[in-house]
Amino acid sequence: MPELTLAPEDWQAIALTAKLAAVTLSILFVIGVPLAWWLARTRSRLGSLVSALVAVPLVLPPTVLGFYLLVLLGPQGPVGRLTEALGLGLLPFSFPGLVVASTLFSLPFVVQPLQATFSAIGERMLEVAATLGAGPFDTFWHVVLPLSRPGLLSAAVLGFAHTLGEFGVVLMIGGNIPGRTQVLSIAIYNRVEAFEYAHAHLLAGGLLAFSFVALLALQFINRAGVGAPGMLRGGA
């Protein structure tokens, strides 16, 4: 029996998926950290509305989010017209389009654990920093972030792992273009559709192993400090 190995297109899908997860996670932290801090500290009624909007991908079917993104980013959508006017072209069926979709879909998996982490930091720590002459930025950088390290790590694991497993939203906005938009979950679907179960097992088994290790890492993080309450839910 010949040895089963991954085909070049499988390696392309794995590399593209890892790249997508890394880029998405970087953007999620740039957006998610200040947003989570604001949600944790604000007393404005607007906070509830923003928090609900961030959490929408947890309950919304991925294909619905993908469909509306396709409409918004398409040639007749407002965002699509803007990107074309700026000379950027259209985002659907491209890697940047995958990044936009993945960022929106994985946003609650980063913001919610960070918000819970920031909310757990007592006011006294911030007051002490203020009395020592630290400004808001210094307090956040030298006090809040070091105290939030377990929560930051937890959010990173969740955001990265969730992006790796996305299917519906990336299929809607990116299609199935090998080497350009075909991510690992779609490659598995293609193998199953072609009745190539052995290759599907190989790809799916690797993703399953990674998911288990990610969940195991979260358990250690939760025991070490701040966890991610209520985040082990949502669609893919």
List the structure tokens of 186.
């779609």
Asked if residue 223 has pLDDT above 90, the reply is no
Whole-prediction pTM value?
A: 0.87
* CATH number of the domain located at residue range(s) 8-224 in this protein: 1.10.3720.10
Each residue's pLDDT tens digit, 23-60: 999 999 999 999 999 999 998 889 999 999 999 999 99
Question: Is 137's pLDDT higher than 70?
Answer: yes
- Average pLDDT value for the chain: 87
For the chain, give the percent of residues with pLDDT over 90.
63
Helix, strand and coil in the chain, % to nearest 5: 75, 0, 25
Q: Tokens 């890394």 appear where? A: 22
Residue in 56, 38, 160, 49 with CA at minimum distance from that of residue 108: 56
Predicted confidence band of residue 231 (pLDDT cuts 50, 70, 90) = very low
- Site of tokens 């899908």: 13
Q: For 72-81, 167-176, 221-230, which range has the lowest pLDDT when averaged over its residues?
A: 221-230
Q: Does residue 236 have a pLDDT over 60?
A: no
Give the residue with greater pLDDT, 157 vs 1. 157
Evaluate if residue 170 carries a pLDDT over 50: yes
Q: What mean pLDDT do residues 96-125 have?
A: 91
Q: Residue range 66-95: average pLDDT?
A: 93
- Cα-to-chain-centroid distance, residue 164: 9
pLDDT band at 2 (very low <50, low <70, confident <90, very high): low
Average pLDDT over residues 108-130: 86
Confidence of residue 18 (pLDDT cuts 50, 70, 90): very high
pLDDT at res. 233: 38
Give the C-alpha separation, 129 to 143, whole Å. Answer: 8
Tens of pLDDT, residues 175-204: 999 989 999 999 999 999 999 999 899 999
